[in-house]
Chain A
């Protein structure tokens, strides 16, 4: 897979974006467009279980979505990040900024 796949679904009052593939400067625009469509407007969950690599381009989009959503009084969670997505988020030094849940079942 050279691009990313983004599936949209609904569960427990959340819009869930399930992302698979690499998030880098080549693919982040697609991620940004999709996230901007929902951030700040609905309760949002971003499932990163299928992410194969993640650069700051993608992390910046997710951090901005967290700020927009929380500023709008909505909820946002990162769900089950893959090992590599978790390592990428940790490497920013802002791990506390990412509200992470282990599974979609924990959404409420």
Chain B
């Protein structure tokens, strides 16, 4: 088993830091690295958009095993995340409950990122905590 971790402190560095993480994941193939990069980017985008990344920043870990890759994303607890994770847990087996839709008035899509993460990763779990909120996604090999 291999483990890699990075910390992201500054928002403008998110993509650069995630690219570094994937570069370190030499035991993953290109498709796996691309899935990790898009999914982690999407999840961190949402943490930034709907919450805060806090003074500690975001910690991203990769655990690479023979049959699965697990990515963990850790961030300081935020109230909005607790509500979101509860909602996601109740509809985790019903993807249609949060399928993407286009808001003509706002001229923007909603739920597109959630669908992307579900399609790229084999499993995504959202866990609110007292000190840290956590998101785990797995890619089966």
Q: Which of B91-141 contact A (CB under 8 A)?
A: 100, 102, 107-109, 112-113, 115-116, 119-120
A59 to B108, alpha carbons, bound, how many Å? 10
Interface size class of B (residues with CB under 8 A): 20 to 34
Contact B45 A24 (CB under 8 A): yes
Say whether B11 faces chain A, with CB atoms less than 8 Å apart: yes
Interface residues of A (CB under 8 A from B): 1-3, 21-22, 24-26, 52-57, 59-60, 63-64, 67, 83-84, 87-88, 90-94
Contact B16 A53 (CB under 8 A): no
Interface residues of B (CB under 8 A from A): 11-16, 18-19, 30-31, 34-35, 37-38, 41-42, 45, 48-49, 100, 102, 107-109, 112-113, 115-116, 119-120
Contact B15 A87 (CB under 8 A): no
Binding site secondary structure of chain B? helix
**Which residues of chain B are near A21, meaning CB under 8 Å?**
15
Contact B41 A55 (CB under 8 A): yes
Q: From residue B30, how far is it (CB to closest CB) to chain A in Å?
A: 7
Q: From residue A65, how far is it (CB to closest CB) to chain B in Å?
A: 11
**Which residues of chain B are near A26, meaning CB under 8 Å?**
11-12, 14-15, 48
**Which residues of chain A are near B16, meaning CB under 8 Å?**
1-2
Contact of A57 among B30, B45, B119 (CB under 8 A): B45
A64, A83, A91, most chain B CB atoms within 10 A = A91
Contact B41 A64 (CB under 8 A): no
Contact B113 A55 (CB under 8 A): yes
With A26-B12, A26-B14 in contact, do A91 and B120 touch (Cβ < 8 Å)? yes
**Which residues of chain A are near B35, meaning CB under 8 Å?**
87
Contact A60 B109 (CB under 8 A): yes
With A22-B15, A24-B45, A26-B11 in contact, do A91 and B38 touch (Cβ < 8 Å)? yes
**Which residues of chain A are near B31, meaning CB under 8 Å?**
87
**Which residues of chain A are near B15, meaning CB under 8 Å?**
2, 21-22, 24, 26, 52-53
